[in-house]
Structures are given as structure tokens and as C-alpha cells.
Amino acid sequence: MFQSFFVYIVFGLIMFVLGRISDIRQRQNMLQIKTTPFFVWEVFLALLVFAFVSGVRWRVGVDHQFYLDNYLKIQNFGYSVVDKEMGFEFITTLFARLNIHFSIYFGFLAFLQILFIYLTFKKERYLYSFLGIIIIFGSEYLSWMNGIRQMLAATIFVFSIQFIQKRQLLKYFIAIFIASLFHSSAILLIIFYFLPNKDFFKNKKITLLLVIASLVLGNMTFWINYLTKLTGLLEFIGYDWYSSNLEILIDDSNARNIGPRRLSMMIGPLIVIWFSDRLKISFKNTYFLAYYNLGIFGFLLYNIVSNLNHGFIRPVTYLTIFIVPISAYLLVYLKRNVSNLPFVFFISFMIILSYLPLSIIADYGKGQNDYTNYKFYWYHHDK
């Protein structure tokens, strides 16, 4: 447990400091009417640190061993355990046949994930200092290290929102097509281009009522059996196993208690909702509203499906990933107004970053079932 806290805290601090340096550089360049290149040293180093820590991990993320076994089989025997999407298969096969160590392979995939997030906000580097630590200490990092393919597709989706806002249909289609090469379910994200660009959650009190309604609906069971009608859709978007085992997954669904980790995932977005009217004004010249719409919609959907098998929750991660940037906007706003809101920033900061520490404590001692506490591969590989 001590090693986990040490690694994650140092990891987070490095991302925070490098993000802060990049923010200062951009503000100084703006005063001199200069454009800041994306690949300045602090950004490149942040991407490399993220890739390194993610690459040398061991059993961090439930599916990590599955991806590792698949990679080693291609490397040692020339065949894959399962047939996956073309883009993912190309990278995996290329690295394996070049006999590249699996830590570099995992590091490269993590590098791509964080790259698309940093590229998305390259003109808003005041978010960088918070983006990195929110990803690490919130629920996203473990999700990224678990559903590697889908979360890579999700980060590409985040990057593609700019094309919706600029009404660049072809560029958006190309981005979503590339995302689908890593997880076929991403093809459904095309529909978001055609949604009207409006404030869907304009009234925060109504939004809070919707949150309550989503929690109530999530604890009801009358609608669950209707999920059997999703078999064809699940096959189409690449969830073949879930489609074949749909009835088992539905039977596996049951109400779960709301513990500390779930509370941390709920309270953060609730704070964002509470300050949403101010955030929309403060960041009206950004794409905050688009991220807010998608993030809150994902939050509501997650509340509804959270008691189902994890297979039903995974598609929602395309939307819940937007809670990361809107939380970063919140912390930036609160920090700028810390004199008026002295304790709100600190409390919000601690809540938003509480998921990982709570998970470290909760999963410690679970042995082979501990997919949270950080372990280096060189202490465990071949044992």
C-alpha cells in the first residue's frame, strides 16, 4: 500500500508541476503575441512520464493480464488469443513481431491515450495542471488501464468534439473512424455530430432533480428485462461476448450499496452542476458547454446502469470521460476565486481526487484480485 501511495502521489505531482509550467509558458507567450508549440519539453515529458508509469505496471487494471497474455502469445507463438479491431491488431502485431518488450507496448498505448487529451486542450493549458491529477486520482486511470482499447477510442472522441463545434463533418467522421479501429463500438459516436448545439442542462435545479431520478431508476428492476432486445446492437458494436451471454449478465445485475468510492464519483459532478451557471459564463469562449452536456448525460446514464453488470456500464464511459475536463474547469474556476470561496476549492479538490486513494485502501490485501495497488512488472513477471 505504501508503494502505491508513493508512486501515485509522485506521479500526480509530476503531472501537476509540468502542467503548471506549460500554463505559465503559454500565458507568457500570449503576452508576447506568440503561439506556443504543442511539443514543448514539459508537455513531452508529461506524456513520457504517463507512458512510463503505465507501461511498467503489473496487474493494474482488471484486463491488463488479458492484454499481456495476448501480446506474449503473438510474440512467442505468432498468433492472437482473440481477433480485435484492425488498428489495435496492427499496433499489437507490429510491436510483438519487432520483439519489443511488453512494457514499451503498454506505455505506447497509454501515451496515445494521454496524447489525445493534451492535444484537445493545447490552447487551454491552464487546465493541464489539473487534468493529469484528475485522470490519475479520479476513476479514469484505472478505467484506462483496464479497457485499454475502448478508452483509447474515448480519448479520440474527446479530441473530436472540436470538429463538431466547428461543423467540420469530414474531420469528425475521420476521427470517429480512427477511434473505431481500436474499438468498433465507437462508430455509434457519429450520432453526436447531429445533436443540436444547445444547453441541455440549463437549469441546475432541474438537473439535480434528474440526478435524483436517475439514482431512483437505477435501483429499480422493471426495465432490465427489456435489455434482451439489445442483442443485435451489442453484436454490431463489437460486444459479441456480452451479446451471447446477455441473459447471464442481466441475472448478474443487482442493487449495490453506495460506498465511499461511489460517493466520490457522485459528489464531484454534483459540485460541477452547482457551479455550472458560473462556469458557463467564465468559460463561454471555450467548448465547456459541449463537454458539460456530454459529461452530465454520461453521469445520469451511469447512475441508471451502475447496478448492472460491468458490461452494460462500459459503453457509458464514452460520456463519463468528459467529467475529467469539466472537473478541471471547476477547479480552475474555484482556484481563481479562492479568496471568495476559501474552503470550497480545497473540499472540491479533495473529493475529486479521492477515488484512487479509497480504491487503494479497499483493494489492498485482495492478492490476485487487487487491480488497483501499484506493482512494478520486474518484481512479479515470470513468478
In three-state secondary structure terms, 57 is strand
pLDDT at position 237, please? Answer: 55
Reported as a single tens digit per residue, the pLDDT across 74-104 is 888 877 767 788 899 999 999 999 999 999 9
Q: Is residue 281 situated within a structural domain?
A: yes
The mean pLDDT of 111-121, rounded to a whole number, is 97
Same domain for 201 and 347: yes
Pairwise pLDDT comparison (248 vs 105), residue with the higher score: 105
- CA quadruple 238, 241, 245, 251: dihedral positive or negative? negative
The angle that helices 2-31 and 128-137 make with each other, rounded to 10 degrees, is: 160
Q: How far apart are CA 335 and CA 329, in angstroms?
A: 10
CA-CA distance, 40 to 5, in Å (whole number)? 29
CA separation for the pair 129, 46 (Å, rounded)? 10
Please state, in angstroms and rounded to a whole number, the distance separating the CA atoms of residues 144 and 152. 8
CA distance 47 to 23: 15
Q: Looking at the domain assignment, is residue 73 inside a domain?
A: yes
Query: Is a pLDDT exceeding 60 seen at residue 300?
Result: yes
Same domain as 98, residue 30: yes
All 3 cell numbers of residue 91? Answer: 499496433
Contact (Cβ atoms closer than 8 angstroms) between residue 322 and residue 158? yes
Are 378 and 321 within one domain? Answer: no
Residue 272 has pLDDT above 90, yes or no: yes
Does 10 share its domain with 101?
yes
**Within a domain: residue 61?**
yes
Q: In this predicted model, which residue has the larger pLDDT, 311 or 159?
A: 159
Cell 491488463 belongs to residue: 64
Domain that holds residue 113: 1-146+368-383
pLDDT at 113 over 60: yes
pLDDT at 246: 46
Q: What is the pTM of this model?
A: 0.90
Question: Is 133 a residue whose pLDDT tops 70?
Answer: yes
Question: Is residue 1 helix, strand or coil?
Answer: coil
Instruction: Give the mean model confidence (pLDDT) for residues 102-124.
Output: 96
- pLDDT reported for residue 223: 55
Rounded-to-integer distance, Cα 383 and Cα 377, Å: 10
Residue 256: pLDDT band with limits 50, 70, 90: low
Output the pLDDT for position 311: 66
What does the pLDDT read at residue 366?
A: 82
Does residue 102 belong to any structural domain of this protein?
A: yes
Q: Does residue 75 sit within a domain?
A: yes
CB neighbour burial string for 161-170, b if at least 16 within 10 angstroms, e if fewer: bbbbeeeeee
Residue 51 has pLDDT above 90, yes or no: yes
Cα 265 to Cα 113, 336, 352, 358, distances in angstroms: 21, 24, 8, 11
Q: Is 359 part of a structural domain of the chain?
A: no
SS3 6: helix
Mean of pLDDT values over 104-110: 96
Question: Looking at residues 173-182, what average pLDDT do you find?
Answer: 96
Q: What angle do CA 369, 371, 375 make, to 5 degrees?
A: 110
- Coil vs helix vs strand at 236: helix
Q: Which of 57, 42, 128, 44 lies closest to 324, judged by CA?
A: 128
Q: Ranked by mean pLDDT, which of 58-72, 77-91, 154-168 comes out on top?
A: 154-168
The answer to the question of residue 131 being in a domain is: yes
CB 47 within 8 A of CB 118: yes
State whether 264 and 337 are in the same domain: yes
Grid coordinates given for 340: 471568495
Whether 299 is in a domain gets the answer yes
Helices (H), 98-203: 102-120, 128-137, 140-146, 148-165, 169-180
- Report the amino acid identity of residue 46: A
Looking at the structure, do residues 271 and 302 belong to the same domain, yes or no?
A: yes
- Please spell the DSSP secondary structure of 118-131, one letter per residue: HHHTTT-GGGHHHH
Which tens digit of pLDDT belongs to each residue from 190-243?
999 999 889 999 999 999 999 999 998 887 765 555 555 555 555 555 555 454
Region 59-87: mean pLDDT is 85
- Whether the Cβ atoms of residue 91 and residue 109 lie closer than 8 Å to each other: yes
What per-residue confidence (pLDDT) applies to 368?
80
Task: Name the DSSP letter for residue 344.
Answer: H
Report the pLDDT averaged over residues 3-23.
96
Tell whether 17 and 119 lie within a shared domain: yes
Cα gap 153→40, rounded to integer Å: 25
122 shares its domain with 202: no
Q: What is the mean pLDDT of residues 175-183?
A: 95
Q: Are 149 and 92 in contact (CB under 8 A)?
A: no
What is the share, in percent, of the chain residues with pLDDT greater than 70? Answer: 88
Has residue 291 got a pLDDT over 90? Answer: yes
pLDDT value at 244 more than 50 = no
Residues 115 and 211 in one domain: no
Domains of the chain: total: 2
